[in-house]
Amino acid sequence: MIEYQNGIHIKGTGLWLDAKRKVDFSFISHAHIDHAVRHREILATKQTTRLYEHRFGKAKINILEYNRPKRFLHKSKSEGGVKVELFPSGHILGGAQILMEIGGVRIVYTGDFKLRKCLTAKEAEVKKCDILIMESTFGLPRYIFPDRKEITKRITEFVDQSLSWGEVPIFLAYSLGKAQEIMKILGNRGYKTCVHGTIFDLSKIYEGFGIRFKNYKLFKAENLEGRVLIVPPWVRGSEMIKNIPKKRMAVLTGWALDSGIKNLFGTDEAFPLSDHADYKELMEYARLVEPKKIYTVHGFPEFPDFLRKEGFDAEQLKESAEATKTFSTETRLGKEVLLNYDLFQKS
Ligand SMILES: [Zn+2]
């Protein structure tokens, strides 16, 4: 029923889920570059569509609001077509999970998600289904994030200390989602920020959907005084950063729970502010959904073992060797994490 090769394909339908090569018709769970390429026709929320067009240009678009089921008959071999419904994933602006009903079977694909609340994405919902295809990036027991208050406290202490020492606090945060979350956290607390151009443009789109940010400016060297600088990770070695004489850098990523991450990014600090579910949330999500079958994607191969220990029928969706070679989106500590940041977050 499910095929996994450069994206997920629901057999018997023309529908792909986050296809990573050009296809006729794909659901786009959110506008991160590792989940989207240019397609002939897409299905997404209006926020994702706007972000997608900003990054990839125009496509034939089917906009679906959250919680408004719709039947797609076209390109479907199964009688009655596919009934689909999008619902919030809690990941970034516009992020959606999809529920598909085909011949009485309910399938949910989560895309990237988290259950924790944040300031810039609608809180995730959970729907019961028979087959669950779930993202599982942080699917090992050692990945349990501290609570948000604690992370925010560590972040603001870092900022206060840097500013008091006359140093520019710099956050490496990918340009869509993470950057807006830290802008919001800092802006709400009265800090002034300065942001890289890619972040600035995407933040304007957020503002178009009612998520507003306080006290921020587009980056210019003369704007730095008393401000926190937010840039995407790929600019960390650039002249722009090198030319700032006094600075302290921190990376914002769930991988901050691993000890080597500061060295990997060449930063003074690393804080585990993440857009993904941690291990505890992944398990909780599975318990709430109670599916008959779970397929995991984007994660450690060991995660299904932990699900099976809890009584679930779970396995990792395996991509063909060829597809893995051409476009691996596995996120792992080590070079690959860094590579992913550089490749996927550049535009
Ligand atoms: Zn994502």
List, for residues 259-311, the tens digit of each pLDDT value: 899 999 999 999 999 999 999 999 999 999 999 999 999 899 999 999 999 99
Give the pLDDT confidence of 12-45 residue by residue, as tens digits. 888 999 998 888 899 999 998 765 678 889 999 9
Main-chain phi, psi angles of 343, to 5 degrees: -70, -45
Question: Do the strands 60-63 and 41-44 form a parallel or antiparallel pair, or are they unpaired?
Answer: parallel
Q: How far is the CA of 187 from the centre of ligand 1 (A)?
A: 23
Report the 10 Å Cβ neighbour count for 241.
16
For 238-254, give the DSSP string.
SHHHHT-SSEEEEEE-G
Q: Residue 31 carries which side chain, given as an amino acid letter?
A: A
Q: How far is the CA of 1 from the centre of ligand 1 (A)?
A: 25
Give the N- to C-terminal CA distance of the chain in Å, as an integer.
34
Looking at residue 145, its amino acid is F
pLDDT in tens, the chain (347 residues): 888 888 899 888 889 999 988 888 999 999 987 656 788 899 999 999 999 988 888 778 999 999 999 998 765 555 567 899 999 999 999 999 999 998 889 999 999 999 999 999 999 999 999 999 999 999 999 999 999 999 999 999 999 999 999 999 999 999 999 999 999 999 999 999 999 999 999 999 999 999 999 999 999 988 899 999 999 999 999 999 999 999 999 999 999 999 899 999 999 999 999 999 999 999 999 999 999 999 999 899 999 999 999 999 999 998 765 444 433 333 334 333 444 443 334 32
Ligand 1 center to residue 310 CA distance, Å?
A: 27
| Ligand 1 centre distance from Cα of residue 34 (Å) | 7
Could you give the CA distance from residue 306 to residue 282 in angstroms, rounded to a whole number? 10
CA of 172 to the centre of ligand 1 (A): 16
What's residue 340's pLDDT?
Answer: 41
Beta bridge partners of 229: 170, 194
- Which residue's structure tokens are 């691993």? 258
Q: What span, in angstroms and rounded, lies between the C-alpha atoms of 232 and 218?
A: 13
- Give distance in angstroms: CA of 331 to centre of ligand 1: 11
Looking from the CA of 90 toward its CB, the CA atoms found within 13 Å total 19
- Chain centroid to Cα 252, Å, comes to 13
Phi, psi of 33, deg, nearest 5: -70, -25
Angle at 261 between CA 259 and CA 265, to 5 degrees: 155
The residue count of the chain comes to 347
